[in-house]
């Protein structure tokens, strides 16, 4: 099984709808990164969560980290076509580890219909 | 600042050949990491270079190698190409700061799409 499970694998929503993507780890999380990728292109950094209970927001995207559950969620409010893409979570696996060696989930493909 | 650049963007090779991919990090960044992305295996860490030294290595065969130059630019090489090496190869740079998680965010380049025929 994957160390990092993302759900759902794909999501199709109507513009304006809210949505949530989850990332669950089978191992201890020492940091969790969220990236967005347009198909076949590089990853765009969204945000990083480090402490349990931490919540960060950027524009209409909010991410939370539940350390006990070893899970993170990414919530998009009032989705827009510009939010479409693949969302990837990346985990830091050691307490002294950095972001330079991340373990990634398989990604969630988001489609936003106008 | 200019972002991470990778050349070439697209490459077609045949089995048995070797290939070299190049990555120029963000100015001032000293760490460069390489990842392989395929539909089947997803995004997997290859190796990381810092100050011209390989600091971390993923679980890939010895056919995959890399190096970093004094200006932090990095190259990765794949020898004796196999069909399964077809992938998007992503380079990421970071300042290379010491410390715990959260101290050193990676910024990714656009990738090099390698097709092996």
- What count of other Cβ atoms lies within 10 Å of the Cβ of residue A90? 24
Answer yes or no: do B102 and A107 touch at CB < 8 A.
no
Interface mutation target, options A56, A65, A87, A98, chain B, most CBs of B under 10 Å:
A98
Segments of chain B with pLDDT less than 50: none
| Distance in angstroms (rounded) separating the CA atoms of residues B115 and B85 | 8
Local structure of residue A78 (DSSP, 8 states):
S
What is the predicted pLDDT for the residue at B55?
A: 86
Q: What is the mean pLDDT of chain B?
A: 93
What residues in B contact A25, CB-CB < 8 Å?
A: none
Share of chain B above pLDDT 70, in %: 94
Answer yes or no: do A33 and B90 touch at CB < 8 A.
no
Interface mutation target, options B23, B43, B44, chain A, most CBs of A under 10 Å:
B43
Among B42, B58, B107, the residue with its CB nearest the CB of A45 is B107
**CA-CA distances (angstroms) from residue B106 to A44, B16, B75?**
10, 32, 17
| Distance in angstroms (rounded) separating the CA atoms of residues A65 and A21 | 12
pLDDT in tens, B55-84: 889 999 999 999 999 999 999 999 999 999
Mean pLDDT per 10-residue interval, chain A, length 114 residues = 87 97 90 91 91 87 90 96 96 72 92 95
- What count of other Cβ atoms lies within 10 Å of the Cβ of residue A51? 11
- What count of other Cβ atoms lies within 10 Å of the Cβ of residue B8? 12
């Amino acid at each position: 099984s994957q160390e990092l499970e993302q759900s759902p694998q794909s999501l199709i929503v109507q513009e304006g709808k809210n949505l949530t993507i989850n990332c669950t780890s089978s191992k201890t999380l020492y940091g969790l990164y969220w990236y967005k990728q347009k198909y076949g292109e590089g990853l765009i950094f969204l945000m990083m969560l480090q402490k349990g209970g931490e919540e960060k927001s950027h524009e209409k995207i909010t991410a939370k980290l539940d350390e006990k559950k070893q899970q993170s969620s990414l919530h998009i409010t009032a989705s827009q076509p510009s939010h479409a893409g693949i969302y990837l979570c990346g985990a830091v696996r050691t307490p002294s580890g950095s972001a330079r060696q991340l373990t990634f989930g398989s990604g969630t493909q988001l489609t936003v219909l106008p | 600042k200019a972002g991470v650049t990778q050349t070439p963007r697209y490459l077609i090779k045949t089995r048995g050949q070797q290939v070299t991919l190049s990555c120029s990090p963000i100015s001032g960044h000293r760490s460069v990491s390489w990842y392989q992305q395929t539909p089947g295996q997803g995004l997997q860490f290859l190796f990381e270079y810092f100050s011209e030294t390989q600091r971390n290595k993923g679980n890939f065969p010895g056919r995959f190698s890399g190096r970093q130059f004094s200006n932090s630019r990095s190259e990765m090489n794949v020898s004796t190409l196999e069909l399964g090496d077809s992938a998007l190869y992503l380079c990421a740079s970071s300042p290379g700061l010491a410390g715990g998680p959260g101290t050193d965010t990676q910024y990714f380049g656009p990738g090099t799409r390698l097709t092996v025929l």
